């Protein structure tokens, strides 16, 4: 029987704002995070499975009482003991609930028929949600709801012709949203192909529209690659007078060159400073495969300093609001603007292009660079096993890269390479 440190609900009710504690532990992984979500307390359960640490949210207090939280934690522990991830069970349960609610709405006339484009699109979206990042999932459904459903949502998916699809795409194009037009076409094509695979359509009409839209090519994120300009930027970051957490994020951005969302959502449970390694879980990665980021000595120093300030939070970069969320996605970009770098010069995502360009110029092997950039592996089975590919070379490269950035910041510009 676990030794509980939270004596009773009265213990929790006695906590007042201004209390220095961040959490109350209840033993065996269960704890109460204080004053999250703008004021309420949040129950959390930490557990390890297959060598990975995870956190499960169990509700807020007082809606979820101490006894109910303990009951939920006990149920989660049983799943973990059986080798089942409670987070996966929750996702599956929510997906089943969504499908059940959808069926109920359809039965009462609240949704279009099963073979309509909207019904098929929502079914396709629901099936893919577990494999997508939340931001990607919400963008797709919002795009369909705004630019597609109002015009062809009620039509039988197998009866939609190329000209009908072209008509709604032209409507998007005419408002100047060229990129969105192509994204909409892409998503519609995915829905049509799903309809074909499930026997509700004969073909994908989006394929007949090639060449009918204004061409669009994805733009590369603006960045700096001239050694003198990079050095000046690094000196400006060093002199940044804003918040300490933001400054640390800015210093790590060029050094680690992960995606901005991966950096701001970093958690202390993922980082092993003794091993100088950050393991980003598959669920946070664009390619849905766990990614290893070797930490140079400079990165470890920055994180050690930051840990003294944010170590009690699950987030490495907690947000300024006490709502339990990480820093805003605009924080680093806003700080760059304060330093005088507008969006045509560099963005937070541009640090990836900076590293890629300079690492290639200095002769580092392309496959080592690409693996460290976590560019998606086309073969999903292979991707699941090669997260550690080229790891010794990547460790060497990441340390050499951090040393090179130090040299540029100090005004140098020596070339670094495998011989460095």
Residues sharing a CB contact under 8 Å with residue 181, sequence separation 6 or more, in sequence order? 169, 172, 173, 213, 214, 216
Identify whether 286 is a catalytic site residue. Answer: yes
Among 342, 346, 359, residue whose Cα is nearest residue 405:
359
Cα dihedral value 55, 61, 65, 67, nearest 10: 30
Among 80, 153, 74, residue whose Cα is nearest residue 121:
153
Name the helix (H) or strand (E) containing 44.
strand 40-49
41, 247, 279, 352: the active-site residue: 352
Identify whether 291 is a catalytic site residue. Answer: no
CB 162 within 8 A of CB 205: yes
207, 343, 360, 385: the active-site residue: 385
Residues sharing a CB contact under 8 Å with residue 133, sequence separation 6 or more, in sequence order? 261, 283, 284, 286
Identify whether 375 is a catalytic site residue. Answer: yes
CB 416 within 8 A of CB 400: yes
3-state secondary structure of 57: strand
Beta bridge partners, 95, equal: none
286, 337, 390, 395: the active-site residue: 286
41, 44, 251, 349: the active-site residue: 349
375, 382, 410, 414: the active-site residue: 375
Name the helix (H) or strand (E) containing 279.
strand 277-280
Identify whether 23 is a catalytic site residue. Answer: no
User: How many angstroms separate the CA atoms of 293 and 375, rounded?
Assistant: 13
Both tokens of 68, joined, read: 């109910």
Identify whether 240 is a catalytic site residue. Answer: no
Both tokens of 21, joined, read: 């504690």
Both tokens of 379, joined, read: 């073969």
CB 324 within 8 A of CB 310: no
3-state secondary structure of 53: strand
44, 70, 122, 259: the active-site residue: 259
Q: Is 18 exposed, middle or buried (0-12, 13-18, 19+ CB in 10 A)?
A: exposed
Handedness of CA 261, 255, 360, 233 (dihedral sign): positive
Active site residues: 259, 286, 349, 352, 375, 385
């Amino acid at each position: 029987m676990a030794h509980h440190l939270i004596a009773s609900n009265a213990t929790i009710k006695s906590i007042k704002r201004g209390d220095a504690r961040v959490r109350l532990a209840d033993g065996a992984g269960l704890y109460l995070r204080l004053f999250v979500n703008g004021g309420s307390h949040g129950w959390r359960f930490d557990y390890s499975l297959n060598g990975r640490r995870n956190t499960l949210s169990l509700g807020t207090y007082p809606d979820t009482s101490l006894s109910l939280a303990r009951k939920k934690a006990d149920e989660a522990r049983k799943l973990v003991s059986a080798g089942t991830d409670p987070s996966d069970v929750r996702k599956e349960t929510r997906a089943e609930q969504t499908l059940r609610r959808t069926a109920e709405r359809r039965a009462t006339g609240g949704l279009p028929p099963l073979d309509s484009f909207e019904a098929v699109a929502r079914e396709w979206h629901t099936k893919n949600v577990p494999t997508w990042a939340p931001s990607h999932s919400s963008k797709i459904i919002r795009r369909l709801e705004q630019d597609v459903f109002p015009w062809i949502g009620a039509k039988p998916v197998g009866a939609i012709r190329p000209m009908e699809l072209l008509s709604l795409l032209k409507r998007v194009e005419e408002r100047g949203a060229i990129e969105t037009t192509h994204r909409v076409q892409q998503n519609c094509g995915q829905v049509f192909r799903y309809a074909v695979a499930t026997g509700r359509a004969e073909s994908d009409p989006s394929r007949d529209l090639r060449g009918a839209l204004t061409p669009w090519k994805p733009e590369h994120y603006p960045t700096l690659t001239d050694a003198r300009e990079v050095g000046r930027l690094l000196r400006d970051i060093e002199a940044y007078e804003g918040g300490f957490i933001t400054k640390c994020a800015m210093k790590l951005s060029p050094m680690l060159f992960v995606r901005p969302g991966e950096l701001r959502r970093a958690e202390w449970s993922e980082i092993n400073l003794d091993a100088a390694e950050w393991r980003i879980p598959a669920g946070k990665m664009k390619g849905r495969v766990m990614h290893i980021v070797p930490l140079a000595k400079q990165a470890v120093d920055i994180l050690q300093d930051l840990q003294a300030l944010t170590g009690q939070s699950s987030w490495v970069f907690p947000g300024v609001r006490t709502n339990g969320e990480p820093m805003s996605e605009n924080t680093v970009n806003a700080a760059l603007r304060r330093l005088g770098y507008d969006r045509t010069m560099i963005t937070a995502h541009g640090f990836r292009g900076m590293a890629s360009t300079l690492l290639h110029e200095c002769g580092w092997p392309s496959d080592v660079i690409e693996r460290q950039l976590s560019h998606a592996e086309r073969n999903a089975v292979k991707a699941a096993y090669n997260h550690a590919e080229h790891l010794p070379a990547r460790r060497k490269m990441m340390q050499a890269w951090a040393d090179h950035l130090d040299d540029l910041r100090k005004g140098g510009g020596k070339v670094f390479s495998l011989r460095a």
